[in-house]
Chain A
Amino acid sequence: MDSNQTLTIDEFNLSIENIIKISNDILDGWTLHVNKENDNGKYITKKSTISIEEPGKGNPITLTYEHHVVFSLSYSVPMICFNVWKADGSVLSMEEYLNINQNFDDSNMYNTITQLDHPVLCRPFLTLHPCKTQEIIEPFLSTSKNPVISWLTVVSSYVHLKILEEYIKHC
């Protein structure tokens, strides 16, 4: 696996700074955070509110997401972490989330979404587990101008994150 190309932290930082630039142009709401204590201290976040149908019940529910895109030093890949709130302000537990989000409706769901510590904030977030990310991102590393955007276009819809066309033009 050593011969495999991986995303470097510098490439990751450039990619997310590029995302911030596009987001600022189109007012899409991504924010850059910098924590100087950590080697991987740069990450971006976005809050969004969505309305979906509650599975099995059909009534609409409103969810507020906070998505984080952050670099995992150990896996040398980007990670999506997120928290989800219901309209009453309570945080969804992993089980509640997996009941609502039917995109992970298979026997392996615990391997795909895991509660992990955020690499910079060190507190629990729902996380798309990074162990398969290398497989997804590898083909983009030599072809895309922004591998983080390219990877997001593959995985974002599973976790209700919208990536607008303006970003895709840049990769």
Chain B
Amino acid sequence: MANDREVLREVWEGKLPICFKLDNDEVVDIQQPDPFYLMVPRLSYFPLVTDKVKKHFSKYVSKELQDQEMWMEFNGQPLKWQYPIGVLSDLLRGPEDHLPWSITVHFDKFPELVIYKFSNKETIEAYFMSCLKEADVLKHRGLIASGMQKKDHNQLWLGLQNDKFDQFWAVNRKLMEITADQESFKYIPFRCYTDDGYRQKLIKPLGEDGRKKTLEDLLNEMFPGRSSINVKIHGMNPPLETPLQWMSEHLSYPDNFLHFVVQLES
């Protein structure tokens, strides 16, 4: 059970300043549009916070493109909307990329094989809920998420969408509990992101001898034989001796996964 509520709130309130610019080649108006600045929650997803951005830029592109799905790019890479914003920032922004984070907006040539085509918020909701269910399968064999009512699922989604901490956590705390027949979660829901995607593995929070496993144990299981690994979550490097169970309860994203961005140093 999550006790360190201040940590949860601190993580929830993490924000990133972003400067959106429209790709020059797509501007048909004589006047160049002003960049659009926005402060966005790290835990959210781009399609949930960029309605205003789309409205601002769509009048500067040609008529045929105005109704196209907007997509975003940083340093030549399309941003995957299905990754939380904080994950994209940890993954793509290097130490020399200062804030505000400068992102290019496009309406043309949607890279549909690389990123999801999110045509409506229901699709995003379906994706988010399926991640959350998968996490619960790993933690509680799926029993808690499947025992919830539709209104609980709605409350989680609306809490995230409207940036309401109390609304979200009133339901999410149940997903973070250890049930009576458990000593810990069954497995820790996590993903390790590298340059070319991410990897998952079944990792238990306790060792055979009942010892609490740490982030270091997880990295050893994921990347055996690699000693210098840089791990980032929520824009920080967590201590390697942090217990996994605690991390899962306190540092997971709203989809209930720990999203670690990993750099293997040579």
Q: Which residues of A contact B (CB under 8 A)?
A: 1-2, 37-39, 73-75, 83, 90-91, 93-95, 110-111, 114-117, 119, 121-124, 129, 131
Contacts and interface: CB of A to CB of B under 8 A. Distances in A.
A117 B137 contact: no
A2 B141 contact: yes
Nearest to A95: B119
B204 interface: no
Nearest to B200: A73
Given A74-B138, A110-B126, A111-B126, 12 more contacts: A1-B141, A73-B202, A75-B137, A93-B112, A94-B117, A94-B119, A114-B126, A114-B127, A114-B130, A121-B197, A131-B130, A131-B137
Nearest to B125: A110
B158 interface: no
A74 B114 contact: no
Interface string B102-118: 00000000001111110
Contact of B113 (A95, A117, A123): A123
B167 interface: no
Given A75-B134, A95-B119, A122 B202 contact: no
Most buried by A among B82, B196, B200: B200
B74 interface: no
B250 interface: no
Contacts of A114: 126-127, 130
Cβ-closest 3 pairs across A and B: A122-B197, A110-B126, A93-B117
A123 B115 CA distance: 7
B24 interface: no
Contacts of B115: 124
Interface of B: 82, 112-117, 119, 122-123, 126-127, 130, 133-134, 137-138, 141-143, 187, 189, 196-202
Contacts, number: 62
Contacts of B112: 90-91, 93
B198 A122 contact: yes
A95 B126 CA distance: 13
20 contacts: A2-B141, A73-B200, A74-B134, A74-B189, A74-B200, A75-B137, A83-B113, A90-B112, A91-B112, A94-B117, A95-B119, A110-B122, A111-B126, A116-B127, A119-B200, A123-B113, A123-B114, A123-B197, A124-B82, A124-B115
A123 B80 CA distance: 9
Contacts of B133: 131
Q: Which of B82, B133, B141, B199 has its CB near the most chain A CB atoms (within 10 A)?
A: B199
Contact of A117 (B82, B117, B141, B143): B82
Question: A73, A121, A124 — which one has the most chain B CB atoms within 10 A of its CB?
Answer: A124
A124 B6 CA distance: 35
A2 B143 CA distance: 11
Contacts of A124: 82, 113, 115-116
B201 A1 contact: no
Contacts of B137: 74-75, 131
Contacts of A122: 196-198
Contacts of A95: 119
Contacts of A2: 141
Contacts of A121: 197
Chain A CB within 10 A, most for which of B113, B137, B189: B137
Contact of B116 (A38, A115, A119): A115
A34 to B, nearest CB: 15
B201 A73 contact: yes
Contacts of B142: 1, 131
